[in-house]
Structure 1
Amino acid sequence: MNEQLVSMITQLVMEKMNNNTSVNSPHESAIQKEEQKETLIKFYDTIAHRADEVASPSPTVQSNEPLIKLFHNEARNHEQSYSSVNYDEPSYASAAATVFKFEEDELSESVQAAKKHTPARIGIGRAGTRPKTKTWLKFRLDHAAAVDAVYGEVTEELLQKLDVFQVTTRVTDKEEYITRPDLGRRLSDESKTVIQSKCQKNPKVQIIISNGLSASAIEENVQDVYLALQQSLRNLNIEIGTTFYIDKGRVALMDEIGELLQAEVIVYLIGERPGLVSAESMSAYICYQPRMGTVEADRMVVSNIHKGGIPPLEAGAYLGTVVQKILHYKASGVGLVAKES
């Protein structure tokens, strides 16, 4: 350790002890109080301090000011009382504590009204920046149901109840069906032969069924829709051809079937592309004299047929009235709208 520093500290301690034993005069007490208001620790310029050491190497050199000054607790507390701002405590420390809530207990009236008119995910709440666990699990469940609907198959038991035979398109598997829509619009050569041999030629109305993009939709809805449609057409004295089922068919496949059978009207019941609200929605496409090259504007569709949309029995009965109108005006789609107006 530096000998000069040791000497200075020793001398400082000795002076402090001597001052404590002596009686201070009023003038000295006032000076001490003024000194107490100075800085807690004084720092010296290192360069100047070393220069003094070089100039006066003697350990007996005394400094006019002490190296370290100490404050009494009373004096420090007295200084703090003059401060109007306490920087040691946060500004919000005095704010009243409230219970944290992830969301409001009650939804607004507008959100409640919207929830009554849509199955969409609104007003479901959140936990921080994420959906609630219940909401997330429901989302995953609906997504899994959509995948199952696309990759599922219509059971043989249902086809037997409907008393329909089955044909196929040029698609070989589900992956090809999804990636090659054009193959789903054409019948296989074997299926053409089967249809020509089993089906009635030149029917007034030809009903066809296909799983499309949702086998679940056919399983849940087609029986009620088909039976109600049959009943409706019979009540209207409209002839029905031979109904059959197409595995992995697309909507435009009705054009090729219209060419083969020369049907006047085709009603095509097919599973819709599933969503996260419903994976069981079915559509009914209707067209007057569909042939190869028919444009989409000539087709009509009644969609969203399921228990959460248009009830299957109601949809079947309504389709009968639509077919009657098409046969009356001999047009469908945009052409029907033009003739009606």
Structure 2
Amino acid sequence: MSDSQPPHVNDPNDEQALERIADATPSRLGVGRSGTRPRTSSVLSFRADHARARDAVLTQVSDEAIEEAGLLRIQSRVSDQDEYLARPDLGRQIDDDTAARIRDECVRNPDVQIVVCDGLSSTAVETNVSDLLPMLVDGLEQRGFEVGTPLFVKFGRVDVMDAIGETLGATSVVNLVGERPGLNTAQSLSAYFVYEPREGKPTAKKSVISNIHDDGLPAVEAGAQILSLVERAHEKQGSGIDLS
């Protein structure tokens, strides 16, 4: 029985079945009650996980993590955290000055442009990108792809990859985004992919590999899946439903 999911139901009808179910999922099952209230340990565990989730959303990716990953830092059209949460549309856009800057400072017309966005979990970015990003760059270059200048987008949403890819003339874009944290983990990253990016491209034309974290899809395995996806997409010249 996992220490993180002990069954607390008094006199269960099938204790072994309860243990098997609790071991098979991180969900809060079989937590039991003390009289009419949840047990103290259950309440404390819930509050701790909720605090971690809030921190992941409200804390920003550190300057050190961005520099160590070798990412060129830019920002979406969002000005602060409150606006980021209230205006998802601005998180999908870059302004004219930013567009001009990346044209000047980045590789133009790459085969694959890599973007990292804080999204809704700085924790996911800081936990996973240091392992995943070098693997992707090396793997793509070994397969003969020209990789663009990796970018970090502060206050970035998934579809900012369309604006960036179109601005740089990239054939495709991989966007590593911190996902909305839950009470199970605040470390989940997703890799979104689009072939022939352009602003307004529908979600159905994009692919995603999600649940990247130590207790889900490990970074090493995720890297292999992303590389396979990029190869297949370039071969088929499409992403999302175009790969079906």
Quickly name the TM-score band, shorter chain normalised. over 0.9
Give the percent of matched residue pairs that are identical in Structure 1 and Structure 2. Answer: 41
Is residue 166 from structure 1 mapped to residue 76 from structure 2 by the alignment? Answer: no
Counterpart position of 2:180: 273
8 Å CA contact 1:107–1:123 kept in 2: the answer is: no
Q: Structure 1: which 5+ residue stretches go unaligned?
A: 1-100
Q: Call closer, same or farther: CA 1:102–1:230 in 2, change over 3 Å.
A: closer
| TM-score using structure 2 length | 0.93
Matched with 1:243 is 150
1-structure distance, mates of 2:14, 2:43: 19
Q: How does 1:319-334 map to 2 (within 5 A)?
A: 319-334=226-241
* Amino acid paired to 1:247: K
Distance between the aligned counterparts of 1:305 and 1:152, measured in 2? 20
Q: 2:172·2:194 contact (CA, 8 Å) conserved in 1?
A: yes
- Contact kept in structure 2, 1:211 and 1:248, CA below 8 Å: yes
Q: Give the structure 2 partner of residue 306 of structure 1.
A: 213
Q: CA deviation at 1:231?
A: 2.4
Check the 8 A contact 1:215/1:271 in 2, yes or no. Answer: yes
Partner of 2:3: none
Whichever of the two has the greater Rg, that structure is 1
Match of 2:130 in 1: 223
Are residue 252 (structure 1) and residue 154 (structure 2) matched? no
- Whether the 8 Å CA contact 1:224–1:316 is kept in 2: the answer is no
Given the alignment, which residue of 192, 209, 214 partners 2:121?
214
8 Å CA contact 2:9–2:33 kept in 1: the answer is: yes
Letter in structure 2 aligned against 1:206: Q
> Which residue of structure 2 lines up, in the alignment, with residue 146 of structure 1?
53
Question: Please, which of 1, 11, 21 is the counterpart of residue 114 of structure 1?
Answer: 21
Contact residue 192 and residue 208 of structure 2 kept, 8 A: yes
Q: Contact (CA 8 Å) 1:208, 1:268: kept in 2 or not? A: yes
Higher strand proportion: 2
Asked if the contact 2:69–2:129 (Cα under 8 Å) also holds between the matched residues in 1, the reply is no
Deviation at 1:190, TM superposition (A): 2.6
Q: Given residue 246 of structure 1, which amino acid in structure 2 is its aligned partner?
A: V
Structure possessing the higher relative contact order (Cα contacts under 8 Å, 6 or more residues apart): 2
| Offset at residue 106 of structure 1 (A) | 9.1
Distance 1:107 1:270 in 2: 42
| Counterpart-to-counterpart distance in 2, 1:128 and 1:188 | 57
1:77-88 equivalences under 5 Å are none
| Cα RMSD after superposing both structures | 1.6
Residue 188 of structure 1: CA displacement?
A: 2.7
Stretches of 4+ aligned residues off by more than 4 angstroms:
none
How many residues were matched structurally? Answer: 237
